[in-house]
Structure 1
């Protein structure tokens, strides 16, 4: 073996920590399959009660659904809608981060609910957001009265 050449089977560059990407920085995603059709999950997750679970209670009631519109939560978080496709996904800024909530069809009339947040400050914030979305998912399951993962 020559100098500067890694031993056989040794990675040539160090692996990035879990959750750290080149393009989006620190990010987290939480998903769950729910035993309801996507339309029912969407109707709840995009409603004021659903949005209050994952984003916070909004000033003015409903989340805006037009790209470029701004929102503010009662806790003082502000952001802008980046994308809103009814029945499919909501993408918005939340301070310096970007949040996406998506609902898609799964076999057997079920749906998959996904929360994704990127541009987080660091690994500690990633873990806090992971805990948040896991709590949110449990609250969504309870609110909808469904079995998750079924």
Structure 2
């Protein structure tokens, strides 16, 4: 009998969660905001150090990991370990230009289980709400 697939379960990357939202704001403006001190604080946390590729980071809230890749004006890929978690997950944040509009995409995988996926569903939706409010205030 075939195993019932659980929402968000992948074949080889644990559980995943993804969220995208399109903004009617120029691409460069969204990128600059997301990587400003204020933008980073919203989606990553208050950083104790600068973000640099192949370097470790830690936020004041206790999230930590390694920056795997920063592709300017495209995306960032990093490991992500929330304070209190035993496992390390992976996060990719993309800023995508789309016909004069801009898409912000969060893709979080290597989550431990469905509960952790649900926790990240709530987390990233709250983050996107905060980002939306900030971007709407800027435009």
Q: Which runs of 4+ in 1 moved over 6 A?
A: none
- Structure 2 partner of 1:8: none
Question: Where in structure 1 are there 5+ consecutive unaligned residues?
Answer: 1-11
- Structure 2 partner of 1:105: 97
Larger radius of gyration: 1
Is the partner of 2:126 in helix, strand or coil? helix
TM-score (norm 1): 0.82
Structure 2 distance, partners of 1:59, 1:136, is: 20
The Cα offsets for residues 21-40 of structure 1, whole Å up to 9 and x where unpaired, read as: 01211110010011112211
- Structure 2 partner of 1:65: 52
Structure 2 distance, partners of 1:15, 1:114, is: 28
- Structure 2 partner of 1:129: 120
Structure 1 distance, partners of 2:71, 2:14, is: 25
Deviating more after overlay: 26-35 vs 74-83: 74-83
Establish whether residue 114 from structure 1 lines up as the match of residue 101 from structure 2: no
| Aligned pairs, number | 131
1:13: how far off? 3.0
Structure 1 distance, partners of 2:124, 2:63, is: 17
Structure 2 distance, partners of 1:43, 1:13, is: 47
Establish whether residue 92 from structure 1 lines up as the match of residue 88 from structure 2: no
Establish whether residue 78 from structure 1 lines up as the match of residue 64 from structure 2: yes
The Cα offsets for residues 48-84 of structure 1, whole Å up to 9 and x where unpaired, read as: 2111111111113x4x232x11111002222100110
TM-score (norm 2): 0.88
1:27 to 10, 16, 39: 16
1:19: how far off? 0.2
Structure 2 distance, partners of 1:76, 1:53, is: 14
Cα RMSD after superposing both structures? 1.4
